[in-house]
């Protein structure tokens, strides 16, 4: 009896050893083919956009159009800086505005939201859970709902047409706060207690123990904050041309008609390159953070 038992054990063990017993080769093949087709469809606009930015003017208007550039050049990019240096607001100014607002908003968001997330994740105090519930409710409506009253509030603060109108509200971005708090909950409490026994103050615990251990969540916060700030034309709060953003310039150039087609393609690439590049380099950390992104009841 024991021998037979052992035999079945071995058979079962063998079944488990093959990683996926419930998979057919045909099914796997069908999935791969499907994924490749969908992947090509998904990536086509991106490939096309990159190539269009590298095309010299005559190729841009060639008919029938070709996807890949034959004589790739960087003329379109150079045009952006050279041609637009004659306009009242140079292209580099738009770049500076966007970079400054994105960097300042993201840095503040990272610090302020992490501080709040830390105490919510690691301590219990009256009102804490209620506050977190409110943040999750804020995830449920998009920023458009609050745009009009936000405008009125910022108007009252006198921030209209300053960088602050964009930078300060970005600190309160709920998505980053939510993800950071969820991720910090996974941090072992013994780490914090050990530091406390050694006599570290809360601020020290936060800056020297907690923050270095949640680097994946930083990157996630950064990518979402950058995505929100970088891609927003911000034209509701900012009126003066010299404070407008890159995406605003992109919209202007795109509506500038056929003569600026090449430039429009080049700006588009500059605009999309930043979030995609950040994502590519931080992908594994972001996925690590997203593993704790779940909403529990």
Partner 1 sequence: MSNQYFNKYFKLRKHEAKVAWKKAKISKMCYLFLLPYALLFTMFYILPVINSIFYSFTYYNILEKPRFIGLHNYISLILEDDVFLIGIKNTFMIAIITGPLGYILSFLFAWLINELPRWIRAITIVVFYAPSISGTLYTIFSVFFRGDSYGYANAFLQDWGFIDAPILWFNDPRYMLPICMVIILWMSLGAGFLSFVAGLQGVDGSQYEAGYMDGIKNRWQELWYITLPNMKPMLMFGAVMTITSSFGVCDVTMALCGYPSTDYAARTVVTHLFDYGFSRFEMGYACAIATMLFLIMILCNKAIQSLLRRVGT
Contacts (CB under 8 A) with partner 1, residues 211-270: 223-224, 227, 230-231, 236, 247, 250-251, 254, 268
Q: Which of 264, 269, 232 is nearest to 247 (CA)?
A: 232
Q: Which of residues 59-98 bind partner 1 (CB under 8 A)?
A: 61, 63-65
d(CA 135, CA 141): 11
Instruction: Decide: 89 and 242 in contact? Cβ < 8 Å.
Output: yes
Instruction: Give the binding range for partner 1 (CB under 8 A) out of 3-11, 27-35, 80-88, 92-100.
Output: 27-35
Asked if residue 10 binds partner 1 (CB under 8 A), the reply is: no
In terms of Cβ atoms closer than 10 Å to its own Cβ (0-12, 13-18, 19+), residue 20 is: exposed
150 binds partner 1 (CB under 8 A): yes
Applying CB under 8 A, among 3, 8, 15, 199 the residue interacting with partner 1 is 15
Residue 177, burial from CB neighbour count under 10 angstroms (0-12, 13-18, 19+): buried
Which of 26, 86, 125, 197 is close enough to bind partner 1 by CB under 8 A? 125
Can you give the length of the chain in residues? 297
61 touches 84 (CB < 8 A): no
Of these, 153, 239, 242, 256, which contacts partner 1 (CB under 8 A)?
A: 153
Binders of partner 1 in range 38-57 (CB under 8 A): 38-39, 42-43, 45-46, 48-49, 52
Token pair listed for 201: 């103050």
88 vs 259 by CB, closer to partner 1 = 259
- Which residues in the 100-119 window bind partner 1 by CB under 8 A? 112-113, 115-119
200 near partner 1, judged by CB under 8 A: no
* Binds partner 1 (CB under 8 A): choice among 57, 79, 160, 174: 174
Residue 99: which of 291, 281, 284, 275 has the closest Cα? 275
């Amino acid at each position: 009896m024991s021998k037979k038992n052992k035999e079945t054990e071995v058979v079962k063990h063998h079944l488990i050893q093959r990683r996926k017993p419930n998979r057919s080769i045909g099914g796997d093949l069908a999935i791969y083919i499907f994924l490749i087709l969908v992947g090509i469809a998904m990536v086509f606009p991106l490939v096309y956009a990159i190539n269009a930015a590298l095309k010299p003017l005559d190729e841009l208007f060639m008919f029938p159009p070709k996807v890949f550039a034959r004589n790739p050049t960087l003329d379109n990019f150079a045009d952006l800086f050279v041609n637009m240096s004659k306009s009242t607001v140079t292209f580099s100014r738009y770049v500076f505005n966007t970079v400054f607002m994105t960097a300042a908003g993201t840095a503040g968001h990272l610090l302020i939201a992490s501080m709040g997330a830390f105490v919510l994740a690691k301590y219990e105090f009256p009102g804490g859970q209620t506050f977190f519930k409110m943040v999750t409710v804020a995830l449920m409506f998009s920023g458009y709902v609050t745009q009009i009253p936000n405008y009125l509030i910022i108007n009252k603060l006198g921030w209209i047409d300053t960088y602050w109108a964009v930078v300060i509200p970005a600190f309160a971005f709920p998505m980053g706060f939510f993800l950071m708090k969820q991720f910090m909950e996974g941090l072992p409490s013994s780490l914090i207690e050990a530091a406390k026994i050694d006599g570290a103050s809360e601020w020290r615990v936060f800056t020297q123990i907690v923050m270095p251990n949640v680097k994946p969540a930083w990157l996630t916060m950064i990518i979402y904050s950058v995505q929100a700030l970088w891609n927003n034309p911000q034209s509701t709060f900012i009126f003066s041309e010299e404070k407008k953003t890159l995406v605003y310039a992109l919209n202007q150039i795109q509506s500038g008609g056929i003569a600026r087609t090449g430039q429009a393609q080049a700006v588009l690439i500059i605009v999309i390159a930043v979030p995609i590049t950040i994502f590519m380099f931080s992908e594994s950390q972001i996925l690590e953070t997203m593993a704790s992104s779940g909403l529990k009841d």
